[in-house]
Structure 1
Amino acid sequence: MLFTETKYLGYKFPEPQYLGAKYIHRGWIAQYIPDNVETVLDAFSGSQSIAYMFKQLGKRVLTNDFLSFNNMIGKALVENPRYILEKKDLEILFSGNSNPIEFNLMENLFSGLFFLPEEAAFVDSFRSNVMRLDNSYKQALALAVMCRSMTRKVTMGHFAHTQALAYAADPARIKRNRSLIRPLKEIFIELLSEYNAAVFDNFQKNVSYNKNILDLLPQLTDVDLVYFDPPYCNSHADYQSFYHLLETFVEYWKNKEFVNGTKRYAPKKYSGFDKNSEALGNLQLMFERAAHIPIWIVSYNDRSFPDIDTMIKMIEPYRHVKVERKLYNAGRGGKGSVAGSHEILFVCTTK
């Protein structure tokens, strides 16, 4: 399949800033999607760039991620057929805090750590008004754009360090990235135009799930192809540590501890794929529970655990396996994508 042969190509996914995102590999992955595939499951959707690509290809897309902030992107840009944020919605979102007693979590946790107090208070105020929007897709879009705004404002785009404000006061870093000193509201408005423009209807009943994939797989029927991009152990697999602030913002936790210097929430949600001690058994279980889906495409990296041969041995009882490789000429960050390593696709078809 040629990626250019689709009437939805004119829509553009807003470029993500997400460790391990497969955004740069969309065209490469697309060539292994058969034309006759109708329903596709993106099992570990992360940034949602590949799920969005499937939508562009005219497929019915079931996209899933166990983290809520990723699910919001899927709901906003994959499941959402037409709803965008308009001027009247922004007036609601940017109005004063509708419940300052309940909505002060970001200011209490992250003032002086990732944001100046006035910016943290703005985020709380914004979050207090999200539920005042009259449509769940608009709510998801608002949350997705604000999450992206926060990653743009913080150096390195993640929250596993404690140097955000020090970096934001460094003239050399500011010269490279002026978003470090721009107001979040300004960044949000700039990004919103990209997100609004990315909303389209491919006339399929697309769904964004927020589940552990091991629980979701047995519930799904009539799926033609599943795309697996699991966390790569040994290669920044702990997404909750990197993006805890975004999950805290979306979930607006009231029953969590906040630990370490970064104020990461505890306990973390159970993944089952981010620790070497658990990944092997859960990958085996995942393949077992996907046995009813005819075609599997599995993204991987040759620096990860388990190794490529072990992955092949786990897949072979269920499917024929063909291994495709793509060399990284330069490091991109996250999931083992360093210069000299290979992005791997296991293309798995029925025996």
Structure 2
Amino acid sequence: MLFTETKYLDYKFPVPQYLGAKYIHRGWIAQYIPDNAETVLDAFSGSQSVAYMFKQMGKRVITNDFLNFNNMIGKALIENPGHTLEKEDIDILFSGNTNPVEFNLMEKLFSGLFFVSEEAAFADGFRSNVSRLNNPYKQALALAVMCRSMTRKVTMGHFAHTQALVYAADPARIKRNRSLIRPLKELFMELLPEYNAAVFDNFQKNVSYNENILDLLPKLTDVDLVYFDPPYCNSHADYQSFYHLLETFVEYWKDKEFVNGTKRYEPKKYSGFDKNSEALGNLQLMFERAAHIPVWLVSYNDRSFPDIDTMIQMIEPYRKVKVERKVYHAGRGGKGSVAGSHEILFVCTTK
């Protein structure tokens, strides 16, 4: 199916600011999706841009990510059949902190680190009101838009550095990116129309999961195609270190220790794909547990571990595999996508 052949193309996915997002590769990936694939799984959904493309194609979409802030995007834009945030919802979200004793985590952890005190307190107040919205899709949409607002306020759009407020006081950086000094509330209101407009119903029973894919795969039946975009070891594979603040905001941890200069939560959630010592065995296990799914598309990069030949050797016991390549002419940031490297797509079909 060509990406342009869909009545849902008028809906636009909000441009992500996410390391390794496949947003720019959607059209390239789409050409390898067979017409008869009706139910598709996006196993490592991240920003949800590929899952959203599947939804635009009219597919029944199962999307999954082990980080809950990514799952919230999936709930808001993939599973959600049509609920948007209206004025009365915004009034609730912006109505002040309803429980400052319980909702003070952002100010306690990140004030003076990523946000000035007033902004961190505003984020706590917003979070205290999310549960007051009248359905889970509105709640997910509120969290998704606020998380995106937070990345807009931080140089590089991630939280694995301690220079956010230093950069926000630098006139040269502010000139290039005024979002560094704009209030979260203002950024939220600017982004919200784009997110509301991205909500649509493709009349399929789409669902978003928040599980480790190794646990989820055995539970799924009648899936025609799976898209795997695992973390690329050696290329910014530890997403929890880059986006810990967003996960902390969504989960609102009460049972974590917060460590190092960036106040990352500990213990981290188990990935199984972000360390060289674990990735090889878990990739093998993943392919084994996906054996019942006829077609696999596997995104990868030629600078990652394990290497391309090893990946092929792991796939070949289960599927015929063809390797497609797309060169990076300029660096994109994250996942080894530097100039001269290749984005890889393993197209895996039944023998």
TM > 0.5 fold call: yes
Partner of 1:79: 79
The one-letter amino acid of 2:205's match is K
Could you list the per-position Cα deviations for residues 214-263 of structure 1 after superposition, in whole angstroms to 9, with x for gaps in the alignment?
Answer: 00000000000000000000000000000000000000000000000000
Deviation at 1:115, TM superposition (A): 0.1
SS in 2 for 1:331: coil
Distance in 1, Cα, partners of 2:76 & 2:334: 25
After TM superposition, the score normalised by the length of structure 2 is 1.00
Could you tell me how far 1:308 is from its partner in structure 2? 0.2
Aligned to 1:139: 139
Report whether the alignment pairs 1:4 with 2:4: yes
Structure 2 counterpart of 1:150, one-letter code? M
What does 1:96-245 align with in structure 2 at a 5 Å threshold? 96-245=96-245
Residue 291 of structure 2 aligns to a residue in which SS? coil
Aligned residues: 351
Ranges of 4+ aligned residues in structure 1 off by more than 6 Å: none
Give a deviation string over 1:74-103, Cα, whole Å, max 9, x none.
000000010000000000000010100000
Equivalent position SS for 1:243:
helix
Distance in 2 of aligned mates of 1:183 and 1:214: 40
Q: For residues 3 and 23 of structure 1, what CA distance do their matches in structure 2 show?
A: 13
Work out the CA distance in 1 between the residues paired with 2:2 and 2:34.
10
Within 1, Cα distance between the matches of 2:315 and 2:2?
Answer: 27
CA distance in 1 between counterparts of 2:337 and 2:36 reads 31
Tell me the amino acid that sits aligned with residue 333 of structure 2: G
Distance in 2 between residues matched to 1:136 and 1:144, nearest whole Å: 12
Name the SS of the counterpart of 2:288 in structure 1: helix
Q: CA shift at 1:152, angstroms? A: 0.4
Q: Shift in Å at residue 132 of structure 1?
A: 0.1
C-alpha distance in structure 2 between counterparts of 1:337 and 1:166, whole Å: 27
- 3-state secondary structure, aligned to 1:321: strand
Superposition deviation, residue 139 in structure 1: 0.0
Q: Look up the match of 2:91.
A: 91
Aligned to 1:16: 16
Amino acid at match of 1:4: T
TM-score, length of structure 1 as denominator length? 1.00
Structure 1 vs Structure 2 CA RMSD: 0.3
Instruction: Give the 3-state SS of the residue equivalent to 1:131 in structure 2.
Output: helix
| Cα deviations by residue, 1:159-189 (Å, 9 ceiling, x for unpaired) | 0000000000000000000000000000000
One-letter amino acid matched to 2:23: Y
Q: Give the secondary structure class of the aligned counterpart of 1:107.
A: helix
For residue 52 of structure 1, report the CA deviation from its aligned partner.
0.3
C-alpha distance in 2 between matches for 1:98 and 1:214? 39
- Structure 1: stretches of 5+ with no match in the other structure: none
AA of the residue aligned to 2:51: A
Where does residue 324 of structure 1 map in the other structure? 324
Distance 2:2 2:142 in 1: 33
Q: Give the match for residue 55 of structure 1.
A: 55
Q: Give the drift of 1:56.
A: 0.2
Aligned pairs for 1:243-258 (under 5 A) are: 243-258=243-258
State percent identity of aligned pairs. 89
CA shift for structure 1 position 22: 0.1
1:34 — aligned with what? 34
Q: Distance in 2 between matches of 1:272 and 1:185?
A: 36
Paired AA for residue 347 in structure 1: V
Describe the SS at the equivalent of 1:149: helix
Aligned residue identity for 2:254 = K
Residue type at the aligned position of 1:169? A
Partners in 2 of 1:174 and 1:249 — Cα distance? 25
For structure 2, the 5+ residue unaligned runs are none
Read off the aligned partner of 1:32 and give its amino acid letter.
Y
Distance of 1:319 and 1:35 partners within structure 2: 19
Distance 2:253 2:313 in 1: 41
**Alpha-carbon shift at residue 2 of structure 1 (Å):** 1.2
Measured in 1, the distance between the counterparts of 2:254 and 2:4 equals 46
SS for the counterpart of 2:132 is coil
Q: Which residue of 2 aligns with 1:260?
A: 260
Residue 278 of structure 1 aligns to which amino acid in structure 2?
E
